[in-house]
Amino acid sequence: MTIYLEFEKPLAEIEGQAAELRALAQRSPEMDVEKEAAALDRKSHEMLVQLYANLTPWRKCQVARHPERPHCKDYIERLFTEYTPLAGDRNFADDHAVMGGLARFNGRPVMVIGHEKGHDTKSRIERNFGMARPEGYRKAIRLMDMADRFGLPVVTLVDTPGAYPGKGAEERGQSEAIARSTEKCLQVKVPLVSVIIGEGGSGGAVAFATANRVAMLEHSIYSVISPEGCASILWKDAEKMREAAEALRLTAQNLKELGVCDRIVAEPLGGAHRDRTAAIDAVGREIAAMLDEMKDLDGQGLRADRRKKYLDLGSKGLAA
């Protein structure tokens, strides 16, 4: 069963009617509904095209957070072979909000690291809804460091609402862990490529996405603060998230214009959740292309390339 977003309600109705007709025909085969159902299909297809051609920033946030959107685990399972999870930060715990380990990408050994949100109540709780604690960043630091020593490219998949605002996370130095993870991203002498597959939430995203190349899925977002958080601070009203989403310029399209993201990966019509394998494969092609761009750079060159990317940021704004 498809989960519809708030703005997809009219679409849900038409698709529902088509499905009902077909279910009816199954029960009474003498009825010929196909013509009518096909007409509804055409109508819903048109509507889908229209809805997704001009998604507002707030709608993009909703698509980026869609519960059926492919998550880190799905990408790892489909795009990588011999995935061997490596656990723990060697200090306190293993953070299940962060997946990571050795794997092969197109046969080549790499280190893959990403946020995992979970897909049902049980796994969402286990994954803490993709909100890492300090242990998650420290695990990532450990894995990046290992990749650096063994010359393995690092691929990060970013999908997090942000760092976890918890008591223990603060006590165990969440800030320091994020700062060190960003620092490690800048230090490694191996290619580091990142894809924002859903939500790039604030510092928790930066800790993994400080990369040579950053790609974003077409309807993913990357922001300094959630629209709800921004609305409650600047508008003093969390309900003004639509305005905040607009003002923050958090879409992949805006971020490409600002130079923060290098590539946009087109999503299947109606969002990545409507054709998960197609979306995942598209991301796979993008990762391959980004790694290919890095192939002539040596360790120092890769570091210099990353530094330059960040030092140069901010030299262009958005057209008024």
Partner 1 sequence: MNWISNYVRPRINSIFSRREVPENLWTKCDECGTMLFHRELADNLNVCTNCGHHMAITPRDRFKALFDGGAFTEVKVPEPIADPLNFRDQKKYTDRLKEARRKTAEKEAMLVAEGEIGRTKVVAAGQDFSFMAGSMGMYVGNAIIAAAERAVKLNAPLVLFSAAGGARMQEGILSLMQMPRSTVAIEMLKEAGLPYIVVLTHPTTGGVTASYAMLGDVQIAEPNALICFAGPRVIEQTIREKLPEGFQRAEYLLDHGMLDRVTPRGQMREELIKVLRMLLGLPEAVMADLPAPETPEPAAAKEAEDAKGETPETPAAKPEPKPAKPEAPKK
Nearer to partner 1, 16 or 259 (CB): 259
DSSP bridge pairs for 103: 110
Spell out the SS3 assignment of the chain: CCCCCHHHHHHHHHHHHHHHHHHHHHHCCCCCCHHHHHHHHHHHHHHHHHHHHCCCHHHHHHHHCCCCCCCHHHHHHHHEEEEEECCCCCCCCCCCCEEEEEEEECCEEEEEEEECCCCCHHHHHHCHHHCCCHHHHHHHHHHHHHHHHHCCCEEEEEEECCCCCCHHHHHCCHHHHHHHHHHHHHHCCCCEEEEEEEEEEHHHHHHHHCCCEEEEECCCEEECCCHHHHHHHHHCCHHHHHHHHHHHCCEHHHHHHHCCCCEEECCCCCCHHHCHHHHHHHHHHHHHHHHHHCCCCCHHHHHHHHHHHHHHCCCCCCCC
Q: Does 129 bind partner 1 (CB under 8 A)?
A: no
Please list every residue from 239 through 278 that binds partner 1, using CB under 8 A. 243-244, 247-250, 254-255, 258, 260
Q: How far is the CB of 64 from partner 1 (least distance, A)?
A: 14
> By CB under 8 A, is residue 54 in contact with partner 1?
no
| Closer of 42 and 316 to partner 1 (Cβ) | 316
Answer for which of 11, 48, 72, 206 binds partner 1 (CB under 8 A) is 206
Q: Which of 9, 27, 121, 165 binds partner 1 (CB under 8 A)?
A: 165
Instruction: Using CB atoms within 10 Å of the CB of residue 150, give its burial: 0 to 12 exposed, 13 to 18 middle, 19+ buried.
Output: exposed
CA distance 146 to 112: 12
Task: State the binding string over 275-314 for partner 1 (x if CB under 8 A, else -).
Answer: --------------------------------x--xx-xx
Q: Does 187 bind partner 1 (CB under 8 A)?
A: yes
Nearer to partner 1, 23 or 186 (CB): 186
The answer to whether 234 contacts partner 1 (rule: CB under 8 A) is: yes
Q: Rounded to the nearest whole angstrom, what is the least distance from the CB of residue 232 to partner 1 in the complex?
A: 10
Among 167, 295, 296, 298, contact with partner 1 (rule: CB under 8 A): 167
- Which window, 30-38, 83-91, 103-111, 182-190, contacts partner 1 (CB under 8 A)? 182-190
Is position 320 an interface residue for partner 1 (rule: CB under 8 A)?
yes
If binding is defined by CB under 8 A, does position 235 make contact with partner 1?
yes
For partner 1 (CB under 8 A), the number of binding residues is 54
Positions in 208-227 near partner 1 (CB under 8 A)? 210, 222-225
**Interface residue list for partner 1 (CB under 8 A):** 163-167, 169-176, 178-180, 182-183, 185-187, 202-203, 206-207, 210, 222-225, 230, 233-235, 243-244, 247-250, 254-255, 258, 260, 307, 310-311, 313-318, 320
